[in-house]
């Protein structure tokens, strides 16, 4: 074998880590280098995603490329950055020391980005510097002597244009040279005694960067103008917030209107699958489990995939474009009033589709307390799973009349439910910051990257990732919960000559009837109490469960319609309003609790969230019920 030094000595694959500051185009470079051959997993214990991909160098080495989270310094400030540090230092137990590190920098911002390279060079490990976005730098008149830079640094330096396939040939060639020359592992001596750089060390790095640039830069790049000019509008004290509002409006409009058609297709697909199975399977428990338990339940969750994807399409586009940091800038002062960071805006925004991706997006928040508060309030954002319940109850109880200015009363109530969630979340954040999670106000130090056109391949890969994560969750947690719930609501079977629907006699029915006295003060009857038990898995399942309790049959659309009529007859307005208030707060989503446990790495916070949301829901429903009764809503 020509590549003997490496592969023969070392049975494991050569591993190279990509390290770079945020916004240096590292992910685009990673995508170009590995194409679609990527794998995402999680690091054990923490929940930072481990992104790796495979590439073949021109000489024929197979390399596993690790895309590490963007980091300004090895002095990690967030859980994401800690992973970068630990992998580079070989402290990530499961990973081992990478054979080489490629440090990616933005060629237009070397003054700031080279410092990370100096930190990495200090470790004495095989290192390559990639000057990325060289095309943009050159367009702006920048000239850099690669030879000088390479000589001064004592490491190979290449220029890359991540957007173009042939823009990475130099880097691949340099990786080959490196792999052929040096023994793969050079011992771990230097990385063991690594210490966080002190302020003076950082100052010294800055001076070294300045010296390097004086030597190597022949012609400086002209300052970028477009970003400044756009920012003059986007960050304008009056126009800026209006633009943000406009974008949010467009986004929600898209989430709810564009998603309608694909959601109908999924719904129709699931229903016909259910019918086909119902017709072709033999009458048995298995059939009941598959048709009523699994397919119906999964259909109820998969249906939100289009909304989640559309929301993420917007988020990824805005992120790639560079707008998200601006949104955080605009929102920071408002959010810091309740002790949150402007960066919490993005996770909270995602939570309107589903709290789970929102909770995962909180990883980008550096400070643990800030991050925890954001995670704890994320479920208060009205996720799309509440919509079916809202729609059902509003249609049944709120008259479709116009109040002032032709605004429909139904739409107004819907808006009120959203607003209650947001206000509740901010209030909870404020209270948590003043009591349980007291701590210093954390600094906001955030780069506002230059605007650039989103890269379609990046966005599509990102969407694909989100879809995979969502579907994986359905296949694991949600599926197992559904099976348990099916069991609870099927056994024991109703006695002969039963007068009530079968679910009444099941374990779920027993639990529901047991809960009834507890729920009576907030106006819930035993039908609601029973429906809330399967509704624990996912909120919208409660609609189907209510249909079962009221012994309605037919396909989903017919059930919902009939249910609306039945409910309007059998519930009081006060009960309906109370249930709506309950739904704003109640933690009826086991998948969210599981996500919180994973992200905080403890059941403590998941339990805390469950309890505080329950208490809030109960109090809100109680107050709503009593007030509505007093106002004659009984």
Partner 1 sequence: MNTYTEPERRAFALGQAVGLGFIQPLSLMRPGSVGRILTVSGSSVSDRDVERGLLEMGFVEGACVEVLHHGFWRRDPLAVRINQTMTVALRRCEASAVLVGPLLDSAMSATSASNRERDPS
Tell me: does residue 345 bind partner 1 (CB under 8 A).
no
Q: Which of 4, 154, 223, 399 binds partner 1 (CB under 8 A)?
A: 223
Shortest distance (Å) from residue 214 CB to partner 1: 13
Backbone angles phi, psi at 541, to 5 degrees: -65, -25
As a whole number of angstroms, the distance between CA 285 and CA 570 comes to 32
Name the residue nearer to partner 1 (CB basis): 341 or 566.
341
As a whole number of angstroms, the distance between CA 584 and CA 281 comes to 39
Name the residue nearer to partner 1 (CB basis): 122 or 186.
122
As a whole number of angstroms, the distance between CA 558 and CA 264 comes to 14
Name the residue nearer to partner 1 (CB basis): 325 or 378.
325
As a whole number of angstroms, the distance between CA 389 and CA 281 comes to 31
CB of 105 within 8 A of CB of 155? no
Shortest distance (Å) from residue 594 CB to partner 1: 33
Q: Which of 109, 350, 382, 600 binds partner 1 (CB under 8 A)?
A: 109
> Site map for partner 1, 241-280, x if CB under 8 A?
x---------------------------------------
Name the residue nearer to partner 1 (CB basis): 193 or 440.
440
Return the SS3 of 524.
coil
As a whole number of angstroms, the distance between CA 387 and CA 394 comes to 10
Tell me: does residue 211 bind partner 1 (CB under 8 A).
no
> Site map for partner 1, 583-602, x if CB under 8 A?
--------------------
CB atoms within 10 A of CB 386: 22
Name the residue nearer to partner 1 (CB basis): 443 or 492.
443
Q: Which of 3, 10, 40, 73 binds partner 1 (CB under 8 A)?
A: 73
Q: Which of 1, 41, 189, 445 binds partner 1 (CB under 8 A)?
A: 445
Of the candidates 2, 10, 22, the residue with the CA atom closest to the CA atom of residue 180: 2
As a whole number of angstroms, the distance between CA 527 and CA 549 comes to 6
Name the residue nearer to partner 1 (CB basis): 114 or 375.
114
Shortest distance (Å) from residue 236 CB to partner 1: 8
CB of 614 within 8 A of CB of 564? no
Tell me: does residue 214 bind partner 1 (CB under 8 A).
no
Positions 320 through 339 that interact with partner 1 (CB under 8 A)? 325, 328-330, 332-334, 336
CB of 437 within 8 A of CB of 372? yes
Shortest distance (Å) from residue 222 CB to partner 1: 8
* Length in residues, the chain: 634
Q: Which of 112, 420, 564, 572 binds partner 1 (CB under 8 A)?
A: 112
Tell me: does residue 225 bind partner 1 (CB under 8 A).
yes
CB atoms within 10 A of CB 477: 18
Q: What is the CA radius of gyration of the chain?
A: 28
Name the residue nearer to partner 1 (CB basis): 231 or 267.
231
Please list, residue by residue across 618-630, b when 16 or more beta carbons sit within 10 angstroms of its beta carbon and e when fewer do: bebbbebbeebbe
Name the residue nearer to partner 1 (CB basis): 446 or 457.
446
Name the residue nearer to partner 1 (CB basis): 8 or 445.
445
Shortest distance (Å) from residue 231 CB to partner 1: 7
Positions 522 through 581 that interact with partner 1 (CB under 8 A)? none
Shortest distance (Å) from residue 374 CB to partner 1: 18
Shortest distance (Å) from residue 268 CB to partner 1: 46
Pairing mode of beta strands 62-67, 49-56: antiparallel
Chain-centre distance for alpha carbon 183:
40
Of the candidates 7, 9, 15, the residue with the CA atom closest to the CA atom of residue 126: 15
Shortest distance (Å) from residue 123 CB to partner 1: 17
Chain-centre distance for alpha carbon 291:
31
Please list, residue by residue across 336-353, b when 16 or more beta carbons sit within 10 angstroms of its beta carbon and e when fewer do: bebbbbbbbbbbbbbbbb
Tell me: does residue 75 bind partner 1 (CB under 8 A).
yes
Residue listed under structure tokens 């923490």: 46
Positions 370 through 429 that interact with partner 1 (CB under 8 A)? none
As a whole number of angstroms, the distance between CA 311 and CA 347 comes to 12
Name the residue nearer to partner 1 (CB basis): 176 or 231.
231
> Site map for partner 1, 169-208, x if CB under 8 A?
----------------------------xxx--xx--x--
Judging by beta carbons within 10 Å of its beta carbon (0-12, 13-18, 19+), is residue 179 exposed, middle or buried? buried
Shortest distance (Å) from residue 125 CB to partner 1: 21
Of the candidates 25, 16, 122, the residue with the CA atom closest to the CA atom of residue 74: 122
Tell me: does residue 231 bind partner 1 (CB under 8 A).
yes
Q: What is the DSSP string of 360-376?
A: HHGGG--SHHHHHHHHH
Q: Which stretch binds partner 1 (CB under 8 A): 6-14, 105-113, 550-558, 605-613?
A: 105-113
Shortest distance (Å) from residue 206 CB to partner 1: 4
Q: Which stretch binds partner 1 (CB under 8 A): 71-79, 86-94, 152-160, 400-408?
A: 71-79
Backbone angles phi, psi at 404, to 5 degrees: -45, 140
Tell me: does residue 447 bind partner 1 (CB under 8 A).
yes
Tell me: does residue 13 bind partner 1 (CB under 8 A).
no
Shortest distance (Å) from residue 154 CB to partner 1: 23
Of the candidates 20, 248, 229, 293, the residue with the CA atom closest to the CA atom of residue 130: 20
Q: Where are the beta strands (DSSP E) in 553-631?
A: none
Tell me: does residue 513 bind partner 1 (CB under 8 A).
no
Number of residues that bind partner 1 (CB under 8 A): 46
Return the SS3 of 131.
strand
User: 37: Cβ–Cβ under 8 A, 6 or more apart, which residues?
Assistant: 53, 54, 55
Binding site for partner 1 (CB under 8 A): 72-73, 75, 77, 108-109, 111-112, 115, 197-199, 202-203, 206, 221, 223, 225, 227-228, 231-232, 235-238, 240-241, 325, 328-330, 332-334, 336, 342, 440-441, 443-449
């Amino acid at each position: 074998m020509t590549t003997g030094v490496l592969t023969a000595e070392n049975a494991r694959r050569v591993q190279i880590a990509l390290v770079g500051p945020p916004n240096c185009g590292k992910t685009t470079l990673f995508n170009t280098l590995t194409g679609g051959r990527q794998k995402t997993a999680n690091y054990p214990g923490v929940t930072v995603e481990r992104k790796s991909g495979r590439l073949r160098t021109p000489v024929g080495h197979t390399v596993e490329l690790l895309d590490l989270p963007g980091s300004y310094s090895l002095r990690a400030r967030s859980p994401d950055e800690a992973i970068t540090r630990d992998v580079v230092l070989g402290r990530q137990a499961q990973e081992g020391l990478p054979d080489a590190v490629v440090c990616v920098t933005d060629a237009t911002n070397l003054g700031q980005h080279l410092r990370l390279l100096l930190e990495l060079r200090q470790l004495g490990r095989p290192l390559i510097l990639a000057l990325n976005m060289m095309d943009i730098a050159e367009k702006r008149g920048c000239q850099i002597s690669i030879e000088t830079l390479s000589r001064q640094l004592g490491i190979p330096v290449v220029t890359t244009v991540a957007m173009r396939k042939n823009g990475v040939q130099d880097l691949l060639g340099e990786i080959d040279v490196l792999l052929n020359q040096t023994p793969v592992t050079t011992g771990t001596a230097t990385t063991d005694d690594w210490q966080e750089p002190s302020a003076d060390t950082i100052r010294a790095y800055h001076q070294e960067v300045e010296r390097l640039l004086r030597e190597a830069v022949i012609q400086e790049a002209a300052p970028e103008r477009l970003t400044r000019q756009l920012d003059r509008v986007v960050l304008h004290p009056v126009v800026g917030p209006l633009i943000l509002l406009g974008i949010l409006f467009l986004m929600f409009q898209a989430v709810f209107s564009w998603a309608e058609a694909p959601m109908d297709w999924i719904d129709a697909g699931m229903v016909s699958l259910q019918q086909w199975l119902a017709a072709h399977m033999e009458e048995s428990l298995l059939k009941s489990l598959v048709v009523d338990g699994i397919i119906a339940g999964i259909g109820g969750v998969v249906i939100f995939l289009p909304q989640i994807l559309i929301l993420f399409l917007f988020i990824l586009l805005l992120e790639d474009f560079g707008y998200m940091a601006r949104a955080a800038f605009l929102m920071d002062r408002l959010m810091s009033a309740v002790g949150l960071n402007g960066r919490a805006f993005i996770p909270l925004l995602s939570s309107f589709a589903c709290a789970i991706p929102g909770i995962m997006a909180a990883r980008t928040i550096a400070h643990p307390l800030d991050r925890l508060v954001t995670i704890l309030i994320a479920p208060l954002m009205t996720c799309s799973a509440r919509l079916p319940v809202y729609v059902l109850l509003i249609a049944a109880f709120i008259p479709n009349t116009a109040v002032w200015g032709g605004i429909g009363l139904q739409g107004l109530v819907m808006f009120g439910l959203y607003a209650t969630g947001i206000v509740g979340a901010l209030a909870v954040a404020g209270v948590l910051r003043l009591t349980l999670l007291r701590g210093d106000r954390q600094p906001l130090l955030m780069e506002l990257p230059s605007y650039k056109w989103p890269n379609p391949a990046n966005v599509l890969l990102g969407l694909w990732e989100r879809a995979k994560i969502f579907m994986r969750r359905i296949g694991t947690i949600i599926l197992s919960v559904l099976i348990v719930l099916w069991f609870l609501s099927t056994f024991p079977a109703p006695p002969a000559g039963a007068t009530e629907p079968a679910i009444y006699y099941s374990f779920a029915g027993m639990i529901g009837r047991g809960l009834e006295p507890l729920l009576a003060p907030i106006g819930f009857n035993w039908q609601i109490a029973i429906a809330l038990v399967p509704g624990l898995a996912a909120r919208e399942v409660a609609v189907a469960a209510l249909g079962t309790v009221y012994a309605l049959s037919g396909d989903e659309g017919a059930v919902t319609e009939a249910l609306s009529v039945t409910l309007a007859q059998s519930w009081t307005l006060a009960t309906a309003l109370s249930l709506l208030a309950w739904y704003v707060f109640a933690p009826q989503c086991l998948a969210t609790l599981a996500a919180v446990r994973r992200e905080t790495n403890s059941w403590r916070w998941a339990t805390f969230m469950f309890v505080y949301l329950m208490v809030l829901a109960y109090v809100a429903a109680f107050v709503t019920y009593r007030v509505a009764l007093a106002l004659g809503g009984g």
